[in-house]
Amino acid sequence: MNVKGFVHKYGDNVDTDVIIPARYLNTANHKELAAHCMEDIDTEFVNKVKDGDIMVGGANFGCGSSREHAPIAIKESGISCVIASTFARIFYRNAINIGLAILECPEASEKIAAGDEVAVDFDTGVITNITKNEEYKAQPFPEFIKEIIASNGLLNSLK
């Protein structure tokens, strides 16, 4: 599986309250959630984001609440992959469980800039920065998690 898109870049400790503020959690509708994605740190995100774009964060991405609404909002907004130096553990789990591709890669997190065009090869874990002509190697998923992703999410893998 491969994805390619332009980068929306954020810093360390992007929390789930800014990814989707709790004032919008009175719905589980994916489109309504996506309409407010990143609103409290980047009011322009929902207007700028295009299908296939890539989100890049720093350390501890997705910290805070366990709300699955956060990865749902990101996925529904069109983001094809989130790259960060580290992820908060509940967000990491939730992203895998709903089929939002995520990769841990400190080097990519540091070197990729907002607006760069980036391609990701999930089989090899290689992240290619087309704009800067650079390559970074991400941690591949353990087999167990690959199986969940291959089944298109946790619940499908249980059937």
Partner 1 sequence: MGMTMTQKILAAHAGLESVEAGQLIMANLDLVLGNDITSPVAINEFEKNGFNKVFDNTKVAMVMDHFVPNKDIKAAQQTKQCRTFAKSFNITNYYDVGEMGIEHALIPEKGLAAPGDCIIGADSHTCTYGALGAFSTGIGSTDMAAGMATGKAWFKVPSAIKFTLTGSLQKGVSGKDVILYIIGMIGVDGALYRSMEFTGEGLHSLSMDDRLAMANMAIEAGAKNGIFEVDDKTLEYVNGRVNREFTVYKADEDAVYDEEYVINLSEIVSTVACPHLPENTKPASELTDIVPDQVVIGSCTNGRISDMEAAANILKGKKVAKDIRVIVIPATQSVYKECIKRGYMDIFIDAGCAVSTPTCGPCLGGYMGILADDEIAVATTNRNFVGRMGAKSSKIYLASPEVAAATAVVGHIVDPKEVME
Shortest Å, Cβ 151 to partner 1: 11
Q: Is there binding between residue 40 and partner 1 (CB under 8 A)?
A: yes
Q: Is there binding between residue 142 and partner 1 (CB under 8 A)?
A: yes
- Element (DSSP H or E) covering residue 135: strand 134-137
* 100: Cβ contacts below 8 Å, ≥ 6 apart: 71, 74, 75, 79, 81, 82
Number of residues that bind partner 1 (CB under 8 A): 40
Q: Is there binding between residue 94 and partner 1 (CB under 8 A)?
A: yes
Helix, strand, or coil (residue 19):
helix
Nearest to 122 by CA among 96, 97, 87, 98: 96
Q: Is there binding between residue 150 and partner 1 (CB under 8 A)?
A: no
Q: Would you say 47 and 101 are in contact if contact means Cβ atoms under 8 Å apart?
A: no
Question: Interface with partner 1 by CB under 8 A: which range of 23-31, 75-83, 118-126, 127-135?
Answer: 23-31
Binding footprint of partner 1 on the chain (CB under 8 A): 13, 15, 17-18, 21-23, 25-28, 40-41, 59-60, 63-69, 71-72, 86, 88-90, 93-94, 97-98, 142, 144, 153-156, 158-159
